[in-house]
Structure 1
């Protein structure tokens, strides 16, 4: 029987503990919620790793805004992957585009290789790529294990038809993980339509930057 897993996007160590205590399978640790997530501080990675027994992936994104990076920013991403590997994280989350919103194959491949043997998720930069189905093939070619996407819409409910198609086309080659507006109220619908193995939510319900334990619990319950 297929196992359905929940990843919680966490913007502080407290959220990560709440996620773990309420049944999440994995945490995506990042900073700056208002920017859509950026690289968390070294201190937060250490503090969160100490508190978790579940998997913890770390976002590598030097700033908010677009996903085209300068040489200095790319160098920073490489150094952060090297440093955070030493802290026993379980995977990395990033995505680099070219100016025309195509996938930057060279830079993504370099980071995926640097991260080995840890798996990498291509994050929501995927939601602005110019050709979604060709881009799926390119991301697979780069060596990513997961794509985090809302189906190129502001949220997963609006993007469900693209998400369904992506999940179908991906098959067992890569995990299509819906993220962006995933809540306990819609996750059962997503599971039914996509039948993918991982679902991503911040589980934030009150305008703060901290996950709601009850919402995590309800998400888990609706994925069973």
Structure 2
């Protein structure tokens, strides 16, 4: 099985740069500076129209924690349905109980709305105190993969736990390291963890434009050359 690079893209230019660099899939979001939220309908539609690689969409109604009330879950279900109707390949979601366990009932409802789309359980997983139990819950839900840093600030710091999760998964679900994955560490992470899929934004900072006056702000955009380097490093690992 070949290794897969997923790029977290928070704009159409970033999504196009990810594809140009050779990424295999994107996770589409907006507001990357706060960890990402669900992108607009228009962004999803244009990404699907202009990309040939798989588009997964982040389902997250707001920044912050992952315990959602009934109104938030209704919004999330509606967003999942829109993604299904537009023809997205997958959605990226997660919900926890206030006690920090996988909210199985909430996730089951969202997954039911997803129909044939693939499901990635996102880094809400990293807020679970008992990751071994959380992984079993997520497998039972039927998710295809888990995006995780092993419960640490970066995947590199959490690489021992990531390796343990890969072992526990035993091929039943894919463990996808994310957070701080870079050209400096992706090969070592692959070798240490045994993971076959990796997630990163491969971003560069776009400086603020002074002409924007009061509304000037710097932002992140994916760098196609950086994506290409990451892909080459994964290819260099062979089978």
Relative to the length of structure 1, the TM-score reads 0.97
| 1:72 alignment counterpart | 71
| Cα distance per residue 1:47-92 (max 9 Å; x no partner) | 1111100000000000001101111000001111111211111000
| 2:172 alignment counterpart | 173
**Structure whose alpha-carbon radius of gyration is higher:** 2
| 2:233 alignment counterpart | 222
Q: In the TM superposition, what is the alpha-carbon distance from 1:206 to its structure 2 partner? A: 3.1
Distance 1:110 1:144 in 2: 13
Distance 1:203 1:102 in 2: 30
| 2:61 alignment counterpart | 62
Q: In the TM superposition, what is the alpha-carbon distance from 1:196 to its structure 2 partner? A: 2.0
Distance 1:19 1:34 in 2: 18
The alignment partner of 2:146 has SS state of strand
| 1:210 alignment counterpart | 221
| 2:147 alignment counterpart | 148
Contact 1:100 1:130 in 2 (8 A): no
| 1:81 alignment counterpart | 80
Contact 2:119 2:144 in 1 (8 A): yes
Asked if 1:121 is matched to 2:120, the reply is yes
Contact 1:59 1:94 in 2 (8 A): yes
The alignment partner of 1:205 has SS state of strand
Describe how 1:164-203 pairs up with structure 2 within 5 A: 164-203=163-202
The Cα RMSD (Å) is 0.9
Provide runs of 4+ in structure 1 moved above 4 Å. none
Aligned pairs, number: 223
Distance 1:190 1:173 in 2: 20
The alignment partner of 1:28 has SS state of strand
| 2:19 alignment counterpart | 20
- Listed as ranges, the gaps of 5+ residues in structure 2 are 207-218
